[in-house]
């Protein structure tokens, strides 16, 4: 059997869901197409993997054996793909760096210039991640390092160095009654609807809702967004207010949205993160040193 990672990912999802309809929705394929793929896998292996009934898809003994091995097989394949792509980038002197929102703000260009001075002939390719991926591409292995906002889910799995902090402020519609205020205290906002990141971002979402300052009161969610433009539109339309780094007033200015200083919340932390297995990568080390040099007081 030729290795087909997509076919095995389909199988893993069906095995976990035990339902073709639910698995098809998760994989964003049609149910007939997914059924065809499962039949193809059974034909290739020459075994029955599922017992089909009106209630769903139950694994056979052979199916359970395969399901137990697929996660480690796919993890090894994903790791191999990441490392192969990283080697290819190094061969042409390219470092791929992910970032969220405005990255390290104005210091981003200074960091890249510092890196160019340390490694002549190299180029930094920056890749903006959606807010649904606070790791900025680290988790998927799409980048060699990332400029991140802390905290983010699973940060303990990566090497992280803090670079600087900046205050958090409040973004709100220009027509909102609080927009006339010069400074706003967070405790005044507990009953306001907020524009939030997707639920799967966990700790990241909680931080930007300032959940630790709500004294157990759940946040009201007026809209959920994963992209800056969606976020700005939701705020301008009055669906909710949002916490943001102070720099957002410079990078995400738009008609209908205003930013106001906020008290009662901790500052936003900006850091550089990279995979532990890249500690011995000289280019990654130079990038980290460039970040620290460009942002030191």
SS3 label, residue 117: helix
Judgement on whether residues 104 and 70 belong to the same structural domain of the protein: no
63-77 as b/e, with b when 16 or more CB fall inside 10 Å? Answer: beebbeebeeeeeee
Domain count, the chain: 3
Judgement on whether residues 144 and 226 belong to the same structural domain of the protein: no
Judgement on whether residues 15 and 129 belong to the same structural domain of the protein: no
Domain boundary among 85, 100, 121: 85
Residue 77: name the closest of 16, 2, 13, 24 by CA.
2
Cβ partners under 8 Å of residue 168, min gap 6? 210, 243, 244, 245, 246, 262, 265, 266, 267, 268
Model pTM score? 0.74
Please give the chain's pLDDT, 297 residues, in tens.
566 788 888 888 888 888 888 888 888 888 888 889 888 888 888 899 998 877 778 899 999 999 899 888 887 777 777 777 767 676 668 999 999 989 999 999 999 999 999 999 999 999 999 888 999 999 888 899 999 999 988 899 999 999 999 999 999 999 999 999 999 999 999 999 999 999 989 999 999 999 999 999 999 999 999 999 999 999 999 999 999 999 999 999 999 999 999 999 999 999 999 999 889 999 999 999 999 999 998
CATH of residue 64 = 1.10.10.10
Judgement on whether residues 157 and 176 belong to the same structural domain of the protein: no
What DSSP character marks residue 226? S
Judgement on whether residues 103 and 245 belong to the same structural domain of the protein: no
Judgement on whether residues 142 and 188 belong to the same structural domain of the protein: no
Residue whose structure tokens are 């190299």: 122
CATH of residue 212 = 3.40.190.10
pLDDT at 92: 65
Residue 291: name the closest of 275, 273, 276 by CA.
273
Name the residue range of residue 17's domain. Answer: 5-85
Judgement on whether residues 260 and 180 belong to the same structural domain of the protein: yes
Judgement on whether residues 262 and 273 belong to the same structural domain of the protein: no
Q: Between β-strands 145-150 and 184-185, what pairing exists: parallel, antiparallel or unpaired?
A: unpaired
Judgement on whether residues 127 and 215 belong to the same structural domain of the protein: no
Judgement on whether residues 235 and 277 belong to the same structural domain of the protein: no
Domain boundary among 53, 85, 117: 85
- Identify the H or E element spanning 80: helix 61-91
Judgement on whether residues 141 and 229 belong to the same structural domain of the protein: no
Judgement on whether residues 137 and 280 belong to the same structural domain of the protein: yes
């Amino acid at each position: 059997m030729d290795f087909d990672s997509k076919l095995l990912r389909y199988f893993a999802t069906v095995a976990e869901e035990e339902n073709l309809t639910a698995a098809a929705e998760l994989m964003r394929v049609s149910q007939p197409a997914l059924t065809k793929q499962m039949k193809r896998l059974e034909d290739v292996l020459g075994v029955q993997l599922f017992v089909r009934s009106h209630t769903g898809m139950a694994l056979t003994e052979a199916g359970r054996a395969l399901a137990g091995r697929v996660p480690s097989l796919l993890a090894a394949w994903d790791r191999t793909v990441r490392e192969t792509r990283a080697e290819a980038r190094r061969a042409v002197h390219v470092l791929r760096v992910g970032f969220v929102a405005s990255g390290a703000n104005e210091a981003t260009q200074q960091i890249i210039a510092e890196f160019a001075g340390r490694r002549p002939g190299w180029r930094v390719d920056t890749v903006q991640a959606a807010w649904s991926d606070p790791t900025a591409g680290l988790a998927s292995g799409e980048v060699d390092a990332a400029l991140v906002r802390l905290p983010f889910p699973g940060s303990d799995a990566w090497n992280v160095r803090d670079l600087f902090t900046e205050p958090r402020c409040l973004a709100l519609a220009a027509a909102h009654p609080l927009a006339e205020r010069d400074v706003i205290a967070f405790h005044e906002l507990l009953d306001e609807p907020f524009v939030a990141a997707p639920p799967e971002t966990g700790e990241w979402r909680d931080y930007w809702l300032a959940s630790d300052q709500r004294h157990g009161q759940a946040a009201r969610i007026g809209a959920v967004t994963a992209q800056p433009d969606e976020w700005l539109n939701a705020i301008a339309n009055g669906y909710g207010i949002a916490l943001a780094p102070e720099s957002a007033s410079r990078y995400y200015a738009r008609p209908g949205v205003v930013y106001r200083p906020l008290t009662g919340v901790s500052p936003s932390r900006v850091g550089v993160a990279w995979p532990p297995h890249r500690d011995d990568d000289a280019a990654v080390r130079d990038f980290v040193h460039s970040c620290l040099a460009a942002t030191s007081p």
